[in-house]
Amino acid sequence: MLKENNNAIDFSVSDYLNNRVTLSDYKGKKVLLSFFRGAACPFCNMRVRELINNYPKFEEKGIVIIAFFASSKEEIMEFAGKQYAPFPIIPDPTLKFYTKYGVEQSKWGMLRTMLNPIKIINMMTSGFFNLKSSNDKPIVPADFLIDEHQIIQKAYYGSDFGDHINIHKLLNYEENANN
């Protein structure tokens, strides 16, 4: 697992729309790097919607968002891509970058998710519910807040399928870091 003050691991890959995305091209900018389960995952799609809804606030704070999904380009187009995120979504069905960033699979994470009735109710009523994601690998999401020098300022490994850094904390991370 990566930790705060580690160097971010560079990559140069195509997103699901065939745009080239190279992390080192974002030197001088803050980056939120988010790793999700499969593109059909309702919890992941709820988070993508939350990121989209807050995207103007991220832009105001100068934070760029890059998302990875453990899915093929076609699966992203069928599910998460239908939200037309204003940020790159990168397919990584072989989990190459998940491995490099220490993103794990956990049956306990799946169980913790299923035993949380509030998360289940929110997922069932989100409009993203489908059975396709039940076959996905039990990947637990992770978020990395990377500074202008490509140093990880926050490494957050979730404990269940819907566990990400709180949006408010992301948007105010500099203020929180100075307190």
Instruction: Kindly list the distances between the CA atom of residue 166 and the CA atoms of 11, 12, 171, 174, 179, in Å, as whole numbers in the listed order.
Output: 25, 27, 9, 14, 17
User: Model confidence over 102-128: pLDDT tens digits?
Assistant: 999 877 667 666 766 677 667 667 766
Number of domains, the chain: 1
Domain contains 135? yes
**Given this model, what pLDDT does residue 161 score?**
86
User: Model confidence over 93-109: pLDDT tens digits?
Assistant: 999 999 999 999 877 66
Look over the chain and give the mean of its residue pLDDT values, rounded to a whole number. Answer: 89
- The residues pairing with 34 across neighbouring beta strands, listed in sequence order, are 67, 143
Whether the CB-CB separation of 115 and 152 falls below 8 Å is answered with: no
SS3 18: coil
Domain contains 87? yes
Domain contains 16? no
CATH of the domain at 38: 3.40.30.10
| DSSP codes, 142-177 | EEEEE-TTSBEEEEEE-SSTT----HHHHHTHHHHH
Which tokens belong to 47? 């988070």
* Residue (of 46, 172, 51, 31) closest to 113 by Cα position: 46
Band the pLDDT of 156: cuts 50, 70, 90.
Answer: very high
What's the rounded mean pLDDT across residues 47-76?
Answer: 97
Q: Structural domain of residue 110, as residue ranges?
A: 30-177
Whether the CB-CB separation of 109 and 138 falls below 8 Å is answered with: yes
User: Model confidence over 6-38: pLDDT tens digits?
Assistant: 999 999 999 999 999 999 999 999 999 999 999
Domain contains 97? yes
